[in-house]
Structure formats: C-alpha cells, structure tokens
C-alpha cells in the first residue's frame, strides 16, 4: 500500500475565462496534516470542490487511496471516505441539528427504500455526543438551525465532519466565524484527528493556527501552487512572501 | 422558569417558552374566522353559522353545513397533500387540476357498466371487454395515469432545469387537451356500483383523512420526508450532503400526480360521471390551501397538518360566503385575495424572522 492517500496531477478548473485553478500537483501522505494558505480568490475552495466532485474539473487527474478516481457526485466522494467542511457549510437551514448532522446518511429503524423509517432517537443521541467534542453552545438542538449564530452553524458542520471522519478530512476555513473558546476546541478536534492518524487538509488564513497544527504548508497564489514547505523549514514571513508574490515558486523547489 | 433546562455548553433554555408551532397560528386563524362568521350571522342575518337554529332537530351543531364544508374541501384537499410535498421540496405544481381531468376521463372509461336500466350503456367508450370490470382495474389505471403525468413533470424539472412553474404549466395545458381529445369532449358516465361506492356519502372525507394521516407520517418519520425539507431548504447543501436531488424530485412529483389521480377517482365516482372540464382551477385551490396552512412557497417549511387546517379555513370561507348569501362571483374574487394574502403573509413572516 502506497503511503500517499491523495494526489492530484495537473488538476485544472476554468470558469469560462477565469482560471480559478491551474495545473495543481498536490500530494498528501497518510496521517499527514497539510494546510493550504493563500489570498482571497487564490483558488483554495475551488481546489476542494474539484476533489469532492461538487464541480467537474476541466482537466487533470485525482488519485485517492491508491486508485485514479473520477467521482460523479459528492456522495461518491464521501462514500470513498472524504469528509468535508465546505466554506459555505452545506447546511439545510430549516432542519434541526440532528437532521443536518445526518443529512444524506440517516439512521433507520426500518428500511423501506425512500420511505425508510428514521431512527430519530439514535440520531439525536449521537448528535449530542458529536457536539460535545466541539464545546459548542447550542440552546436547543431541536430548533431549525436558521436562527443559530454563524459560529454555532460552523460547529454543526465541523461536528458532522469529525463524527464521520474516515480516510480524509478537508476543512475549508473551519474557524473563520468562531470565538476563542470554540476555535481552541476545533483545534483540539484537529489534534484528535492527528492522533487517530486521519489525514487532513486545512484551509485557513490564520498562520498562527497553521503553524500550531499542521506538518506542511502549501501556498496557493492566483490559481497555482507556488510553494510546499515543511513547517520546520519555514516561518511566517516566508509564507507571507509566497502568499503576496514577493517570492515565487520558481526560486525554490515548489513541492515535494 | 422551573422548567428551564440547560442546552449544550450551559446555555439556558426554557422549553415552555419555545416558539409556537406554525400550525397553532393557523388553527387560531381558523377559529377566529369561524367566530367572525358566527358573529356577523347573528348580527345581520339573525342566523347561526355554526349551530343548529331549527328547533325540531336535536343536533347542537349545524351538521349539514359542517359536513358540506368538509366534503367540499376533501377532494381538493387530497390534491393539496401532494402539492404540499412539492412546495416543501422547493417546487410548484400547476398541473394537478388538469391531471384530475385527464385521469377522471381515462379511469371512468374502465369503470363503466354494460347495462343501464336493461339497455346498453349509451356513453360506452370501449367495447364489451371494458365493461363491468372489477373496481381495482379503473383504480389502478387511474393511479398509473397520475404517476405517469407526475414522472414527466418531475423528470422535466430535475433533468432539464426547466423551472417547475413552466414545466408543470406545460403539463397543465397538455393534460387538459388530452382529456378533451379522449372522448371528443363527451362526458363519460354510468359507472359500476362498486366504483360509485368509492365517493359515496362521506367516503371522500374518510379517504382524505386517511391519506392525510398517512402522509403526515411519511413527512415526519421517513427519509423521503426529511429530504423534502432538505431539498426545499437548500438544494445545493442537499446535493453536497449526498442526497440524490434529481431522484427525489421525480418521486415528489410522481406522488403528487398519484394523489391528483386519487382525487379524480373520488370525484368522478362521487359525480357518477367524468367530464373534460373536471378539476379546472383545482391546482390553485390546492396551492392556496397549502399556503394558508403555512407552507412556504420558498420551500423547506410547512406540514401536512398545516395544509389540512388550511383546507378547513378555505372551506369555511367559501361556505361562509354562501351563508352570508354573497354572490358566487364574490367568492371567486375572495379566493384570489386569499391566495395573494397568504403569500404576502408568508413573505412578511420570513422577513420578520430574518430580522429577529
Ligand atoms: N462558480 C464560479 N464561477 C466563476 N468564477 C468563480 C466561481 N467560483 C469561483 N470563481 C472564481 O475563482 C477564483 C477562486 O475562488 P475560490 O473560491 O477558490 O477562492 P479561495 O481561495 O477559496 O478564496 P477565499 O479565501 O476568499 O475563500 C475566484 O477568482 C472566484 O471569483
Ligand atoms: Mg474559499
């Protein structure tokens, strides 16, 4: 078994004339935690959407868990073992917390095809367990999440991902809307994933957090990967100069 | 505050003070409307809307009026059950009235009796082979008709990205044309006794109530129901969460078509005839019942219980206008006002919600 869990070769996405992602060659090893950093519009979320088959990529290949994959929809990507916290969260506002946590993978009391009977009690119990790991404050999980704060909603999305984490976890700016305590808790969840050996792609604008949590930092700039640096061999200033374009990928070996 | 419990993370939460369910508001509205008619009746007509005023009958309520109300709303109510599921899923179905017409024609053609008063059936559509068939045959034929119409609707909406409004408008016109073509515009009459039994007396009410309970359970306790709310609430999120949104849409419209077909069976059986013009404008009545009952045209919100209450409000208002001896023309206009009013109310509710 190869020690590479995810590899993209020449992954490219154009929206009409917009080159949102160009020729991305990316490697993630088993158990490895990698951060993706870059300015707004650098193509980070676009990269995630290609891997998780939310969108069809323009060209390039994705290899996951030893085979060349061509997921036809997000369900297939998830069934293959990729759990994602999307930047847009992908929550249904009119549903309560347990329904959102188990959206698309409900637990059943009785299987009757589309009319399978939900096991609401089990889903609720497992939701409470999952939420405890995020230390989120939610007054009543049975309310629709429409009225919840941005941070509460984010914790729901993170709890969902952490609870079902299997082969690969991707988090797109998971702590963007969170308070100090909740951020610390999410960082703990990420450390827990590391201990369990679950590989992670973390997208974040918070360099302190990135240096705290991951093994390697990949810098995106204008749709291209311009640097891939081991945490120990770089520092904040170095990363910032790649993000802003003061340094460019041509100067050094760009990636492993 | 003695009931206050602690939510996750120590936030206080008082279950006694949670927001009132939408259905309760609708129920209160129903009561208020009934009371209004009662008061107006007593003041201006010297008659009661709700209670029995004739001395020689010992029932307390005016059972005749009440049973007319529920009978009146039952058949359109059956359609509204399907329309509710479509709207909650974020769609709309304008074809149900026409599907009622088309299905009634086809179904009745297989429900005819061979002899009418000893003479051959004067309205016979097919030959002897289609006469006096067991009641299951027309019933199944009807359901299949409705499901086909629904699957066409759903497939158009899911796979061609035509907006549901346009797709079902197409079906509305096509199905109406079909029902005129079927028997060259002639009514089809003289069903078998067993077919006529389906819509006899208060049977339509019983069927409506049974279906309402069934679909209440389906919407509350099954995966399908959960996915209706999820797709209507945030289609993109539903897709990202792995729900097969396209399959879901086909299924929703298929069920709506099936329910319209059931309404057609009940209606043609009750009337002992099927005509090409049957069910005209029923789609709007059904949508109105749902919207009055708190089903949001934005999708994601509403319930079967709400729609049932909405249907009752609808019936009470129509019957109330008859009671006040207002002309049928006014009733039509009032219906229009009710529909628009309910939608405005929904918009307003949503705005106040996002502000709050
Ligand atoms: N559906 C789309 N159609 C057209 N352009 C798009 C689309 N989605 C993204 N883009 C463009 O692609 C580029 C990359 O966007 P992306 O969302 O990947 O940025 P990002 O790195 O995630 O930024 P942020 O840090 O702000 O989240 C942007 O210029 C964006 O405007
Ligand atoms: Mg982004």
Closest residue (by CA) to atom 24 of ligand 1? A40
Residue A256, pLDDT score = 45
**Does some domain include residue A189?**
yes
Dihedral of alpha carbons B269, B272, B276, B277, sign:
negative
Q: Note down the domain range covering A208.
A: 4-251
Average pLDDT value for residue range A158-168: 87
**Number of domains into which chain A is organized:** 1
Contact A77, A38 (CB under 8 A): no
In Å, how far is A109's CA from the nearest CA of chain B? Answer: 10
- The residue with greater pLDDT, A165 or B279, is B279
Residue B16, pLDDT score = 56
Q: Per-10-residue mean pLDDT for chain B, 356 residues long?
A: 49 58 89 92 86 70 84 95 98 97 96 86 83 91 97 96 94 96 92 93 96 98 97 93 93 98 97 94 93 92 96 91 82 82 81 57
C-alpha closest to that of B98 among B138, B145, B159, B164 = B145
**Does some domain include residue A170?**
yes
Q: What is the DSSP string of B13-47?
A: E-GGGSPPPHHHHHHHHHHHHHHHHHHHIIIIIS-
Residues of A in Cβ contact (< 8 Å) with B233:
92-95
Residue B355, pLDDT score = 45
Residue A199, pLDDT score = 95
Average pLDDT value for residue range A138-167: 86
Atom of ligand 1 nearest to the CA of A16: 4
A122 to chain B, any CB pair closer than 8 A? The answer is no
Residue of chain A minimizing CA distance to B4: A139
Selecting from A75, A88, A116 the residue whose C-beta is nearest the C-beta of B242 gives A75
Neighbours of B331 (CB within 10 A): 16
A165: domain CATH number is 3.40.50.300
Quote the crossing angle between the two packed helices B245-271 and B203-221, to the nearest 10°: 170
Q: What is the DSSP string of B317-331?
A: HHHHHHHTT--HHHH
**Which H or E run includes A84?**
strand A82-85
Residue A56, pLDDT score = 93
Residue of chain A minimizing CA distance to B237: A90
Contact A106, A92 (CB under 8 A): no
B350 to chain A, any CB pair closer than 8 A? The answer is no
Q: What architecture is the B21-355 domain classified under in CATH?
A: Orthogonal Bundle (1.10)
Question: How far does CA B155 lie from the centroid of its chain?
Answer: 22
- Residue A80 to residue A162: CA distance in whole angstroms: 16
Residue A254, pLDDT score = 46
C-alpha closest to that of B301 among B262, B350, B344 = B350
**Does some domain include residue A14?**
yes
State whether residue A147 is helix, strand or coil. Answer: helix
Mutate to test the interface with A, among B4, B5, B9 (most CBs of A within 10 A): B9
C-alpha closest to that of B274 among B111, B154, B34, B44 = B111
Question: How far does CA B74 lie from the centroid of its chain?
Answer: 8
Interval A19-41: pLDDT, tens: 999 999 999 999 999 999 999 99
Pocket test for ligand 1, best of A46, A51, A54, A221 (most atoms within 8 A of CB): A46
Interval A104-149: pLDDT, tens: 889 999 999 999 999 999 999 999 988 887 777 788 888 899 888 8
**Does some domain include residue A256?**
no
Residue B356, pLDDT score = 37
**Does some domain include residue A20?**
yes
User: Does this complex have an ipTM over 0.90?
Assistant: no
Number of H-type helices and E-type strands within chain B: 13, 6
**Ligand found nearest the CA of A16:** 1
Q: Can you read off the two tokens belonging to residue B16? A: 């006694």
Q: Can you read off the two tokens belonging to residue B54? A: 């004739």
**Does some domain include residue A8?**
yes
Quote the crossing angle between the two packed helices A180-196 and A150-164, to the nearest 10°: 10
Residue A131, pLDDT score = 85
Residue B19, pLDDT score = 63
Write down the domain spans for chain B: 21-355
- Residue A111 to residue A25: CA distance in whole angstroms: 43
């Amino acid at each position: 078994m190869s020690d590479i869990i995810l590899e993209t070769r020449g992954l490219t996405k154009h929206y009409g004339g917009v080159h949102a992602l160009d020729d991305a060659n990316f490697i993630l090893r088993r158990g490895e935690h990698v951060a993706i950093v870059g300015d707004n519009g650098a193509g980070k979320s676009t990269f995630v959407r290609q891997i998780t088959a939310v969108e069809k990529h323009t060209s390039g290949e994705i290899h996951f868990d030893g085979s060349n994959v061509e997921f036809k929809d997000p369900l297939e990507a998830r069934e293959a073992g990729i759990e994602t916290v999307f930047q847009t969260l992908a929550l249904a506002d009119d549903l309560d917390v347990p329904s959102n946590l188990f959206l698309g993978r409900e637990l059943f009391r009785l299987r009757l095809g589309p009319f399978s009977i939900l096991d609401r009690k089990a889903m609720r119990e497992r939701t409470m367990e999952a939420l405890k790991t995020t230390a989120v404050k939610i007054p009543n999980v049975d309310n629709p999440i429409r009225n919840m704060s941005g941070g509460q909603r984010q914790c729901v999305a993170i709890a969902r991902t952490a609870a079902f984490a299997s082969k690969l976890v991707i988090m797109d700016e998971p702590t963007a809307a969170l308070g100090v305590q909740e951020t610390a808790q999410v960082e703990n969840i990420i450390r827990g994933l590391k201990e369990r050996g679950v590989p992670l792609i973390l997208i974040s604008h918070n360099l302190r957090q990135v240096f705290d949590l991951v093994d390697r930092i990949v810098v995106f700039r204008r749709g291209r990967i311009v640097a891939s640096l081991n945490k120990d061999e770089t520092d904040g200033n170095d990363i910032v100069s790649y993000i802003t374009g003061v340094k460019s990928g041509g100067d050094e070996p760009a990636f492993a | 505050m003695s009931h206050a419990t602690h939510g996750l993370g120590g936030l206080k939460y008082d279950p006694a003070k949670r927001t009132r369910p939408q259905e309760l508001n609708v129920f209160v509205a129903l009561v208020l409307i009934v009371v209004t008619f009662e008061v107006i009746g007593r003041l201006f007509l010297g008659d009661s809307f709700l209670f029995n005023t004739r001395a020689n009958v010992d029932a307390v309520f005016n059972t005749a009026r009440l049973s007319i109300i529920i009978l009146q709303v039952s058949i359109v109510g059956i359609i509204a059950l399907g329309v509710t599921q479509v709207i909650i899923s974020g769609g709309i179905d304008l074809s149900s009235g026409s599907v009622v017409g088309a299905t009634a024609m086809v179904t009745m053609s297989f429900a005819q009796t061979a002899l009418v008063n000893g003479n051959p059936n004067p309205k016979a559509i097919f030959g002897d082979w289609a006469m006096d068939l067991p009641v299951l045959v027309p019933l199944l034929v009807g359901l299949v008709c409705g499901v086909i119409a629904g699957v066409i609707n759903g497939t158009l909406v899911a796979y061609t990205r035509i907006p549901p409004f346009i797709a079902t408008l197409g079906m509305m016109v096509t199905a109406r044309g079909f029902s005129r073509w079927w028997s060259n515009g002639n009514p089809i009459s003289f069903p078998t006794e067993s077919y006529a039994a389906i819509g006899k007396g208060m049977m339509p009410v019983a069927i409506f109530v049974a279906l309402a309970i069934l679909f209440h359970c389906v919407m509350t306790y099954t995966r399908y129901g959960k996915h209706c709310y999820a797709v209507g609430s945030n289609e993109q999120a539903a897709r990202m969460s792995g729900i097969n949104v396209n399959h879901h849409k086909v299924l929703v419209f298929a069920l709506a078509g099936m329910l319209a077909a059931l309404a057609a069976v009940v209606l043609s059986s009750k009337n002992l005839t099927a005509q090409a013009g049957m069910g005209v404008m029923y789609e709007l009545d059904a949508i109105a019942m749902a919207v009055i009952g708190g089903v949001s045209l934005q999708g994601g919100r509403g319930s079967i219980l709400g729609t049932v209450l909405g249907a009752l409000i609808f019936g009470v208002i129509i019957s109330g206008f008859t009671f006040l001896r207002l002309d049928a023309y006014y009733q039509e206009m009032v219906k229009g006002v009710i529909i628009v009013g309910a939608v405005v109310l929904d918009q307003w509710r949503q705005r106040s919600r996002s502000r709050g």
